[in-house]
Amino acid sequence: MSEGKINKTVYLKDYCPPDYQIKTVHLSFYLGEEHTRVYSKLSITRSLGKKTPLILHGEALKLLSIQLNGQLLTESAYQINSESLTLHQVPDYFILEIETKIYPQKNTTLSGLYVSEGNFCTQCEAEGFRRITYFLDCPDVMATYTTTIIGNKEKYPVLLSNGNLIDQGDKENGEHFAIWQDPFPKPSYLFALVAGKLSSIQDKFITLSRREVNLSIYVQPHNIEKCTYAMASLKRSMAWDEQVYGREYDLDNYMIVAVDDFNMGAMENKGLNIFNSKFVLANPETATDTDYQYIEGVIGHEYFHNWSGNRVTCRDWFQLSLKEGFTVFRDQQFSASQSGSVVKRIEDVNRLRTYQFREDAGPMAHPVRPESYEEINNFYTVTIYEKGAEVVRMLHTLLGETGFRKGTDLYFERHNGQAVTTDDFVKALEDANQVDFSQFRLWYSQAGTPELHVQSSYDADQQTYSLKIKQACPPTPDQPYKKPFHLPLTIGLLDSQGKDIPLQLVGENNRIKGTQTLEIKNQEETFTFENISMSPTPSLLRGFSAPVKLHFELSDKERCFLLAYDNDSFNRWEAGQQLAVKIILSLTKDYQEGNLLKVSSIFIEAIAKFLENYKTDNQSFIAQLLILPSEHYLSEFMEVIDPEALYQARTFLRKTLAHSLKDYFNTIYHQLTSEKPYSFNPQEVARRTLRNICLGYLMMLDETEIHQRCFHQFKTADNMTDSIAALSYLADTKSTERESALSIFYERWKQDSLVMDKWLSIQASAKRDDTFEIVEQLSGHSAFKLTNPNKVRALIGTFCQNNLVNFHHPSGNGYKFLGEYICKLDPLNPQIAARLVSIFSFWKRYDPKRQTLMKDQLEQISRSPNLSKDVQEITLKSLKMN
């Protein structure tokens, strides 16, 4: 550990309401080329009975002056250090005026006020506002803000902040000003400021109550033609939130700004959302279908935060999932309504099981509502977001759509304008529906992924079918013992024809057609169904009704039966996935033992049946079925992860399918070719996806004719989806077409930063033997920029996190490469460096040689001078991993 740096742990149990509240905030920014002066005027009230000193947060600030009730304070009246400003003697109510100097042009952390491509912008969540001025920078301090921005009119013609524009005009010396006022009290993390040379597109939205809202999207002038889809997504989001949740927008303006340098996807600042450019900019030539889907989802997510995050915000950072988990669930609902619920659910579960389940089993495991943290930036995790969304989804399942809406209506009504907790959220759902969710709250306080072990039995004489269910949750670092969870287990029973059997539990009068949701509450319980005339095939955890690992023995024949007939599309897909998991893990073992690799025909025949019916079946579903489980997901089934063996086994299955089903893939590829211009809609997305997956399988055959076909698609494609698919397949080969395609792509798109991210990522993900050397070369390429998070994620993140076979090469070169870049990044941008450190967190899951090599890198990182709190926390917790 770097000398002299000890992280302070913050505990939920120590939470106390703030001793002071700030009621109004007046901010004035004087934007400069070398520094910016910030003047704040705060009206502050001491909480009744409190006599503690006033301690304001502050980082990387140069204090110029302080006035208390109009009196200039001398240095003897306050104390200042690198993290705070303390005033020991203050009255019960007072006006505090503070002037500071900050240096946005040098702020590579991208937290607080910084400059991106010549434009000023902010990122204040979680604790960036303290890098702007001294303040009570915590979410339960809510104030109204009036913001004045002054800057050079030629360099910064656009001046934006939260709320409504109340005045603007010119000043002397070529400067101008704008004054913005936000009438809604908000915490400082929702403050935003943008200034620069920006162009905009404008639109309007008429709310249910017939109010007119002005909509604006601001981007750099050369990107103005790429905003149309984002604006359409925004309007669909606004209409959907009114229809499904009854939530209207509340300001006169809703503004979005896209910037290239951004640590996150986007930020929901009240009325002025700041976005990473990749989640706003799109046209068919530069954006893929996936990009369009992400844009719609992220636009919706940030808009939905206006109520689930802004109007009702979190009391403290332990409650982060109050806004993020709920809002992720809302954006998942929205996206499913636009593009199809089944495929969206598959994508969401895939992400959860690949990354969140892994997090639950690692050194950074934590509950949805953590009990402690050292650096809050490290807790913007898949547990907070995705698992938090699954917890809300379970509440939705248990209450039903009507009951859940009643609960959320009460939640918004009861807590409008307040900073509250996850308990407050659950309490509103309880009160609205007269139910008790005391046990359910364990989902917020217990870490880890529960496991359900299910056994079944059929009694032909009694015509009953029983499910015996045991639940257990493995210990996590801070929680060795777990209480039973309350969870919904949605099931169906299929007869010999694949039809759902009506379900009736013994002792109950109602007979439910098809799917039934069982409420699991005990460590062990049995559910018995009567009037079951034949031994059924069970379909368990339909729709992935709870974020658990299900252990239930099914034969390959039974899984193929579910794959063919299950009425729950998610479970049809899941049956195929589990068949593939079993096959690949068996191949992995054979590879390790030097045995001949072979694949049972049952899986190939099952896939062939779907390909035969591709014209009449759901093409999106078939496409998902053809995507084999990822190496990340497969690795969770291995006690000791063997990246080489996993890669070889998965590749062998892909090649086997390619050889066995070549005629199907050829036919589908040609028949799904279309001469129509690009359009983004569910049907066309499904067509392109299935066609390109078929091309991917054909490329596994490594035949010259197919390489040429792929290169032809690359050259002639009228859209980025088809172009990038072909390029990614070529990038994996040693064909002559590979270098030509990469060169053509670069020359065409070298001026487009976001497209260059794709170019970097494709090469970093290639499974060639020389990929590491290529990545090293690209790290010195002009297309790569260490201070831009998107570039780091595209090249270093893709190689180290997604290219397992090359990153984990026994030489350890990948580990050394990552360790060096973490140390380079940490002084510049600790948040991005910390994300990269987490890749090393699972070092003990590998063989002894790899363990030693990864541990060496963690130890070297821990000894780095002036290590950030972000990186230090993850590094030390990883080293302590049991």
Q: What are the backbone dihedrals phi and psi of residue 387, each rounded to the nearest 5 degrees, phi first? A: -65, -35
Cα–Cα dist 169/526, whole Å? 73
How buried is residue 858: exposed, middle or buried, by Cβ count under 10 Å (0-12/13-18/19+)? buried
Question: How many C-beta atoms lie closer than 10 Å to residue 878's C-beta?
Answer: 24
Q: Which residue has the tokens 């450019």?
A: 277
Question: How many C-beta atoms lie closer than 10 Å to residue 231's C-beta?
Answer: 19
Three-state secondary-structure class, residue 623: helix
Q: Which residue has the tokens 């090599």?
A: 853
Strand partners, 258: 275
**Nearby residues of 294 by Cβ (< 8 Å), 6 or more positions away:** 278, 279
Question: How many C-beta atoms lie closer than 10 Å to residue 252's C-beta?
Answer: 13
Q: What are 267's two structure tokens?
A: 């930020």
Q: What are the backbone dihedrals phi and psi of residue 834, each rounded to the nearest 5 degrees, phi first? A: -65, -35
**How would you label 476-486 residue by residue, b for 16+ Cβ within 10 Å and e otherwise?**
bbebeebebbb
Q: Which residue has the tokens 């103005």?
A: 224
**Nearby residues of 118 by Cβ (< 8 Å), 6 or more positions away:** 155, 196, 197
Instruction: Please give the single-letter amino acid code of residue 484.
Output: P
Which residues are tagged catalytic? 302
Q: How far is CA 857 from CA 640, 800, 850, 864, in A?
A: 20, 14, 11, 11
Cα–Cα dist 632/805, whole Å? 11
Strand partners, 170: 176
Kindly provide the residue ranges of all beta strands, DSSP E only, lying in 263-360, ordered along the sequence: 266-267, 272-276, 312-314
> Which ranges of 613-680 would DSSP assign to H, the alpha helix?
619-626, 631-635, 643-660, 662-671
State the DSSP string of 569-607. HHHHHHHHHHHHHHHHHHHHHHHHHTPPP---HHHHHHH
How buried is residue 51: exposed, middle or buried, by Cβ count under 10 Å (0-12/13-18/19+)? exposed
